[in-house]
Amino acid sequence: METRIDRIKKQLHAASYKLTPQREATVRILLDHEEDHLSAEDVYLLVKDIAPEIGLATVYRTLELLTELKIVDKINFGDGVSRYDLRQEGAAHFHHHLVCLECGAVDEIQEDLLEDVEADVEKRWNFQIKDHRLTFHGICWRCNDLGADKPEKDA
C-alpha cells in the first residue's frame, strides 16, 4: 500500500521539488500530530528530535512550500502565531474550527456545512469562492458542565 508520505513525495515531485531529509522529517512530525494545531516553533522543536541539524528557517520554508501545494493549511486563530494543519486528503475546502474560550481547546469540523451559504454568496455578491475560513468561538462540550459527553463521535 502506498503510504501518505509517498503520496506527498509525488506531489512535491509533480511540482519539481524534492523530498529532502529535512522536508521528510517535517512531514513526519505533521503526520504524527494530525490532531494538534502546531505552530512553526512547535514543529521546529519536534523536528529537532528526529533531525537535530535542521534550522528554524528551513522549517518555515518547508511549511510555506507545503502550504503552497495545499498539503497543509496555514491557520491563524488571532493569537499572533500561525498554525499548520495537514489537509484531509481529497478535501476541496479548508475544514472548520471550534475554539473554546474557556480552555482554549481547538476542535475540528471536517464536514463542509457551507454549501448552501456559498451558493448564495456567489450568486448575490458575484464573488467566485475559492476557499473559506470558518471559526466558531464559544464554550466546548468539555467546559459545558451540563453532563454532556463527547459529541463528535456521534455525528
Partner DNA sequence: TACCAGTTAAGAATGATTCTAAATAATAAG
Partner DNA sequence: CTTATTATTTAGAATCATTCTTAACTGGTA
Residues near DNA, by CB under 7 A? 17-18, 20-23, 39-41, 51, 53-58, 60-62, 64, 80-82
Helix (H) or strand (E) holding 107: strand 106-109
Per DSSP, the three-state class of 85 is strand
Q: Which does 60 bind (CB under 5 to 8 A by kind): DNA, its own copies, none?
A: DNA
To the nearest whole angstrom, how small is the minimum distance from the Cβ of residue 113 to DNA?
27
Write out the H or E segment, with its range, that includes residue 8: helix 4-14
Binds its own copies by CB under 8 A, chosen from 6, 41, 68, 120: 120
Surface-to-core class of residue 13, CB atoms within 10 Å of its CB (0-12 exposed, 13-18 middle, 19+ buried):
exposed
Best CA proximity match to 141, nearest among 128, 133, 130, 152: 152
Q: Work out what residue 128 binds among DNA, its own copies, none; the CB cut-off runs from 5 to 8 Å by kind.
A: its own copies
Q: Between 43 and 62, how does the x/- string for binding to its own copies read (CB under 8 A)?
A: --------------------
| 67 interface partner picked from DNA, its own copies, none, CB below 5 to 8 A per type | none
Where does residue 113 fall: left (phi above 0), alpha (psi -120 to 50 degrees), or beta otherwise?
left
- Interface with its own copies by CB under 8 A: which residues? 74, 76, 78, 82, 98, 101, 107, 109, 113-114, 116-118, 120-121, 124-141, 144, 148, 151-152, 154-155
